[in-house]
Copies of this chain bind each other. A is one copy, B any other.
Amino acid sequence: MILDTLEIPIVLAPLAGGPATVDLAVAVSDAGGLGFLAAGYRTAADVREQVGAVRARSERPFGVNVFMPPAVATEPDVYASYVERLQGEADRAGVRLGEPRLDDDDWEAKLAALSELAVPVVSFVFGCPAPEVIAALRARGTSVWVTVTSPAEARQAEDAGADALVLQGYEAGGHRASFTDGDEAPYGLLALLQLVGARANVPLIATGGVGTGRGVAAVLAAGARAAQIGTAFLRCPEAGTSAVHRAALATAAPTALTRAFTGKPARSIVNRFMREHGDAAPSAYPELHHVTAPLRQAARASGDPDVVNLWAGQAHELGSDEPAAVVARRLADEARIALRHANELLGE
């Protein structure tokens, strides 16, 4: 089990859509944690190249995260009025909206590449792969993780043969990893850990709002084998995070879940785009992801925080801009101190 080989129980979150880089993955793995590459929004060829680059630079284990493809296309009438509504944003930014299309994010080609590459860990979000898919990757020596957001999803993933479960709490930045987009009562991370931990027979990795050593210590105490951390690495020099996103992360601005940017619930720092369009945004992923992509790209380029998807977990203001290895080691050191305090309170 890969988790047993880590020097520090810290896993990098995948951070698809810009922040994930080979540099960041290597830095976290070399610090004794588990670095991660994001296959999401990339071609299979890109993923091959990135895996090769990581392997050329480090002998440590690492993971690759893959988006499960959407089960069905969303009917155009579900999102037509939302697209119309965004035309004003496009005019203002001087860009054309993207085409609302369904795609599977190069699913088959990526699976083939990952099977061939036999990477140490492959994790999935947005659904549970079929048992055959999991078995095929395991046969290549890959440890297969499935990201879940509820006890029911955890049971399904364990039944399908997952080696480990990544439990994503309500606090997490970016997209909810839920199997379906109907998740009206999301679980807080600590409740989810206790509920799944009471039943699961596979290791648990905890993610969502864990931004400090205290947070790492807490999820380990709650039964996780490791903490998966995204937001706390977003401001590291190795990350590909945009300048406008970095600036927002360094504030104490509140976050909220929204479908405004992509048609799938995701946690972002609250900005004008979310406030104005969030209530109108339907469930339509990846169609709306493609529609808003040019808007978000233009806003990142021009540095307009009011139109960029500012993915961030609830504890984002506690991050820093230190190198990733420093962050990872500091989190582990602070976690040890936090556990000592807790031991004292329990008279140990």
Chain B positions within 8 Å of A346 at CB level:
8-9, 217, 220, 332, 335-336, 339
Chain A to chain B: the 9 pairs with minimum beta-carbon distance, closest first:
A191-B209, A191-B314, A217-B221, A220-B342, A218-B222, A171-B188, A188-B188, A218-B218, A185-B256
Partner among B170, B193, B225 whose Cβ is within 8 Å of the Cβ of A218: B193
Are A194 and B338 in touch, CB under 8 angstroms?
A: no
Q: Interface on A for B, CB 8 Å cutoff?
A: 7-9, 151, 169-171, 184-185, 187-195, 197-198, 208-212, 214-215, 217-223, 225-226, 252, 254-257, 270, 313-315, 317-318, 332, 335-336, 338-343, 345-348
Inter-chain contact A315/B217, CB cutoff 8 Å: no
Which B residues are in CB contact (< 8 Å) with A220? 221, 341-342, 345-346
Q: How far is it, in angstroms, between the C-alpha of A208 and the C-alpha of B151 when the chains are bound? A: 18
| Chain B residues whose CB sits within 8 angstroms of the CB of A345 once the complex forms | 9, 220, 225-226
> A171 to B338, alpha carbons, bound, how many Å?
23
Q: Which residues of B contact A254 (CB under 8 A)?
A: 185
Complex: A221 Cα to B341 Cα, angstroms: 7
For A318, the chain B residues whose CB sits under 8 A away are 194-195, 198
**B194–A315 contact, CB under 8 A?**
yes
Contact A313 B197 (CB under 8 A): no
Closest to A208 in B: B188
| A348 nearest in chain B by CB position | B336
Contact between chains at B191 and A317 (CB < 8 Å): no
What are 11 sample pairs from A and B whose C-beta atoms fall under 8 A apart?
A151-B252, A185-B255, A191-B208, A191-B209, A191-B215, A193-B215, A194-B211, A194-B212, A214-B221, A220-B342, A339-B342
Interface contact A187-B171, CB-CB below 8 Å = yes
Residue on B nearest A192 in the bound complex, by CB = B314
Nearest-neighbour CB distance to chain B for A252, whole angstroms, equals: 7
Contact A222 B338 (CB under 8 A): yes
Query: For A7, A189, A194, which residue has the most chain B Cβ atoms within 10 angstroms?
Result: A194
Bound-complex Cα distance A340 to B212 (A): 20
B208/A217 in contact, CB under 8 A: no
Bound state CA distance, A252 and B211, in angstroms?
30
